[in-house]
Chains A and B, each alone.
Chain A
């Protein structure tokens, strides 16, 4: 049994997420195995069966059904949970998009893993990045504690009546999902106070008040619905910050909201980084700082909604910046680069795109130092081809 008091444990992100689910008390959970997420549905099955969590646990036959069941259950007015990765997320795609437009506040954990081909089970963002246009919020977490904390925060953000959008909590496969780290688990009572039970106030399936959801909307009404989706996503920025601050004041962990900055106060060179790579990058920044180099990090947490003004503000005095991407839109650039360059449109800050860790290739301190070398070099060189494949045979080694 999971104690209802607060405790600290050395656990993987998968276990942290599963315990967060127990604390968040969803009523319907749909589960399907895929590495590196599988352990989550295993843990949750155990927690439900031993009475830690009172929920309908549906063992489905595909991810398409998993996301469908949570979407339909949300549409019926209850809190839900599911988790997936890679091919599983791709299998879900049409329902992922449907759920965004239906404004269903689903919380889903994505254990980031490369999407074939080439095949592989190791971390990359090629699974979640294609969903950036599906009207889901996306947050990329840095460590196991943040994975736990963001599951709790995610419900509060998604279910806010100003937003009502689904959210993906993305965490690096294996690096986080299968690596243990200390995680502080708040008590059931503390979480209950922060995240009360969900009471659907928006339209949901109720025989006393029949409504229709997900219907065919002809061109004469379509634009307005899409405009509202866009507004909700923009509005989410405000709510994400509010929830972050509320969480920080109650639990003492402040993630900075949409982005997090590290040693940026007087920085001249910056790396924009996501996910667990941020931890490695912090070590390198400390090292470079000890040698007198003014370097810093902008940790991109939320990718949707995209923190345009926060990025502009964080990079405004920077001489040169690099943007790390763990996936690429082939023939173009990495997706984070596209967004950051878009945010900085009209400024003259030199920008390069550092692609690393594809298919789970290790991202070492050496790689991060290499990235900073390139960022500094680019202050004067201002490369025409902004994409650099880091630690890639025949390209950079």
Chain B
């Protein structure tokens, strides 16, 4: 599907209660433009469960199941298995979870579902913190970032969830950014039509969490891709592909536009840069060794 053919109507309806500039909301809208009506969705506790799923205002114009923080992958597994038992096999079962739910408490159930190659589509909107509880660092927060539980900057490197899932040899695994919208559409559409375990992680700017002006999100996620901060990769048929070659420029500027990096030290910036470059080399190695 080309961008110009993307339907205006989304099955995540207008009028949610996300902050101005929330990219999580924007991702949900775009995902549901592509997936359409034949979808069942589950969302764990997160900003999205609040802004799109508080009774009586439910923005999901498809069946919606809200479950717990640790079990999104199992929830959609249960739905998918029940549909299979009923002979309904052409419905996309979608899990739409934050990075905290995905990378921390929900990792065991995500791993279980990936291991069994469950017929599910799991999309993580990654805003790099527990935003709903008021901006605490998660397992995928960047090095040096401020959060309410890392007042002097996060000392740990983010977990690489796609790489963990690639280690499970999953059917499909990709990262995306709405700045590269055609790439985003291709990936969501491909995942929609595949069967088996599919995972997409989308970088998701958050106005209060990133301490930015509400208009800045789209520019920032673009800069994230260009600077190598956010890699666009795709793993399918056991082949890894890097979709966009980063320029490795503009990291400092990218960081300086965000209040969450206001107090990052030079040492932390250096560690962050090294970690990003190392991650790039790891993926590049995988891409170069696909024939193995």
Contact = CB atoms under 8 A, between A and B. Distances in A.
A, B co-complexed: yes
Interface of A: 27-28, 30, 55-56, 58-62, 64-65, 68-78, 94-95, 98, 205-207, 210-218, 221
B68 interface: yes
A217 B91 CA distance: 27
B78 A214 contact: no
Nearest to B63: A205
Contact of B76 (A62, A72, A74): A72
Interface stretch (B106-114, B145-153, B240-248): B106-114
B278 interface: no
Contacts of B66: 212-216
A64 B110 CA distance: 12
Nearest to A70: B78
A212 B79 contact: no
Nearest to B54: A216
Nearest to A221: B55
Residue of B54, B60, B81 most packed against chain A (CB within 10 A): B81
B77 A212 contact: no
A58 B120 CA distance: 14
A78 B85 contact: yes
Contacts, number: 146
Contacts of B86: 27, 76-78
A62 B38 CA distance: 30
Interface string B208-243: 000000000000000000000000000000000000
B37 interface: yes
B77 A69 contact: yes
A55 B75 CA distance: 18
A28 B82 contact: yes
Contacts of B116: 58-59
A227 B53 CA distance: 22
Contacts of A98: 67-68
B64 interface: yes
A65 B77 CA distance: 9
B74 interface: yes
A68 B75 CA distance: 6
Given A28-B85, A73-B78, A207-B37, A95 B61 contact: no
Interface of B is mostly: mixed
B50 A216 contact: yes
Contacts of B82: 27-28, 56, 72-78
B56 interface: yes
A212 B55 contact: yes
Nearest to B83: A76
B111 A205 contact: no
Contacts of A61: 108-109, 111-112, 115
B79 A58 contact: no
Given A61-B112, A65-B112, A207-B91, A75 B55 contact: no
Given A58-B116, A61-B111, A69 B54 contact: no
Contacts of B58: 212, 215
Q: Which of B65, B82, B91 has the most CB of A within 10 A?
A: B82
B85 A215 contact: no
B55 A218 contact: yes
A278 B96 CA distance: 49
Contacts of A74: 82
Q: Which of A61, A95, A98, A217 counts the most B-chain CB atoms under 10 A from its CB?
A: A61
Contacts of A72: 42, 65, 67, 74-79, 82
A238 to B, nearest CB: 29
A210 B64 contact: yes
A62 B40 CA distance: 24
- Name the residue in B58, B65, B76 with the highest tally of chain A Cβ atoms < 10 Å from its Cβ: B65
A61 to B, nearest CB: 4
B49 interface: yes
B272 to A, nearest CB: 33
Contacts of B64: 210-213, 215
A78 B53 CA distance: 24
Contacts of B65: 72, 75, 205, 212-214
A143 B54 CA distance: 45
A205 B37 CA distance: 13
B71 interface: yes
A95 B71 contact: yes
B84 A56 contact: yes
B174 interface: no
B28 interface: no
A213 B54 CA distance: 11
A71 B67 CA distance: 10
A211 B61 CA distance: 9
A212 B60 contact: yes
Contacts of B56: 221
B227 to A, nearest CB: 37
Contacts of A56: 81-82, 84-85
B68 A73 contact: no
Contact of A216 (B40, B53, B75, B79): B53
Nearest to A54: B85
27 contacts: A28-B78, A61-B115, A68-B77, A71-B67, A72-B67, A72-B75, A73-B85, A76-B40, A76-B86, A205-B65, A205-B79, A206-B63, A207-B39, A207-B91, A210-B60, A210-B64, A212-B58, A212-B66, A213-B64, A213-B65, A213-B66, A215-B54, A215-B55, A216-B54, A216-B55, A218-B55, A221-B55
Contacts of B67: 68, 71-72, 95, 98, 214
B78 A68 contact: yes
Contacts of A217: 54-55
Given A68-B78, A71-B75, 10 more contacts: A56-B81, A58-B116, A65-B71, A68-B68, A72-B75, A72-B78, A73-B85, A74-B82, A207-B62, A212-B58
Contacts of A69: 74-75, 77-78, 81
Nearest to A73: B82
B40 A207 contact: yes
Nearest to A209: B63
A76 B100 CA distance: 26
B123 interface: no
Contacts of A214: 65-67
